[in-house]
């Protein structure tokens, strides 16, 4: 099982290595623009709580990029499935569904960690110094595991590449803006806060931001991320067969 999973993961790594610098450049564009637009645009004197807005923004961007790039594995799978037809090579091989899902989830998580590392580098260059310890990386791990698992499951269910783009527009983009990335949740009306509590990125932003501030993350949010990650992983494993005609 581990060998099969590694074969799937290795293929994604080889492709990532081939496009490494293009990928790094692409991953750098969005956070840099957000930092310029929201971070510097708001002005140095704009604070959230007792901290400068830039310190609030960097962990939010880390959570958002972690979500976007781990979910991006769905696009890679769909290109392999609908365009290159490479997915059929996996379907016709003796690879267990769980090994396939685990390999692709790992690939999504790898992209997510790369994207977060780039954001931290951009933040460091901008003079933002936060705590990037074990709890911070645990938050990134859980968030990327959750969204990579969700991505693999959805990639098996969609019937065309266009469907995938729709999912990104309706699920990922709203979450990116409403999950506590750019503004504190407590500023929202109470009813909206309650609704946003059900968005996984809200919990990821909370865990990652608390850890980056050097505080203990909220245990409930950690458990929510862990629980949803496991549920999405199981669903992904259970729906692989739907990709067959």
- Listed in sequence order, the residues at least 6 apart from 142 whose beta carbon sits closer than 8 Å to its beta carbon are 204, 207, 222, 225, 226, 229
Query: How far is the C-alpha of 107 from the C-alpha of 62, rounded, in Å?
Result: 18
Torsion, Cα of 199, 47, 57, 63 (10° steps): -30
Assess 157 for contact with another protein (CB under 8 A).
no
Q: Which is nearer to another protein, 15 or 24 (CB)?
A: 15
240 three-state secondary structure: helix
Q: List 47's β-bridge partners, or say none.
A: 52
Alpha-carbon span 152 to 184, nearest angstrom = 30
Among 34, 38, 56, 90, binds another protein (CB under 8 A): 90
14 binds another protein (CB under 8 A): yes
State the minimum distance, in angstroms, from the CB of residue 148 to another protein. Answer: 20
| Interface map 66-85 toward another protein (x if CB under 8 A) | ------------------xx
Based on the shown chain and the rule CB under 8 A, indicate whether residue 91 belongs to the binding site for another protein. Answer: yes
Q: Is 185 in the site for another protein (CB under 8 A)?
A: no
Site for another protein (CB under 8 A): which residue of 65, 88, 163, 202? 88
The CB density around residue 47, as the number of other CB atoms within 10 Å, is 13
* Interface residues toward another protein, by CB under 8 A: 3-4, 6-8, 10-11, 14-15, 18-19, 84-86, 88-96, 244-245
């Amino acid at each position: 099982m581990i060998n099969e999973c590694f074969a799937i993961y290795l293929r994604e790594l080889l492709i990532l290595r081939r496009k490494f610098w293009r990928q790094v450049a692409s991953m750098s564009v969005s956070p840099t623009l957000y930092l310029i637009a929201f971070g510097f645009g708001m002005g140095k004197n704009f604070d959230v709580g007792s901290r400068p807005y830039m310190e609030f923004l960097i962990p939010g961007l880390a959570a958002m990029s972690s979500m976007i790039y781990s979910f991006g594995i769905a696009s890679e799978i769909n290109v392999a499935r609908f365009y290159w037809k490479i997915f059929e090579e996996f379907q016709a091989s003796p690879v267990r569904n769980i090994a396939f899902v685990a390999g692709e989830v790992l690939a999504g998580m790898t992209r997510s960690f790369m994207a977060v590392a780039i954001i931290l580098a951009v933040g460091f260059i901008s003079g933002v110094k936060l705590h990037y310890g074990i709890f911070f990386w645990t938050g990134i791990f859980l968030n990327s595991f959750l969204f990579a698992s969700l991505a693999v499951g959805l990639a098996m269910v969609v019937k065309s590449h266009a469907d995938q783009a729709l999912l990104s527009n309706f699920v990922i983009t709203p979450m990116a803006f409403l999950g506590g990335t750019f503004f504190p949740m407590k500023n929202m009306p109470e009813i909206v806060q309650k609704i946003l509590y059900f968005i996984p990125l809200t919990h990821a932003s909370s865990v990652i931001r608390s850890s980056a501030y050097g505080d203990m993350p909220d245990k409930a949010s950690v458990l929510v991320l862990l629980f949803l990650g496991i549920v999405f992983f199981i669903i992904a494993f259970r729906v692989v067969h739907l990709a067959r005609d």
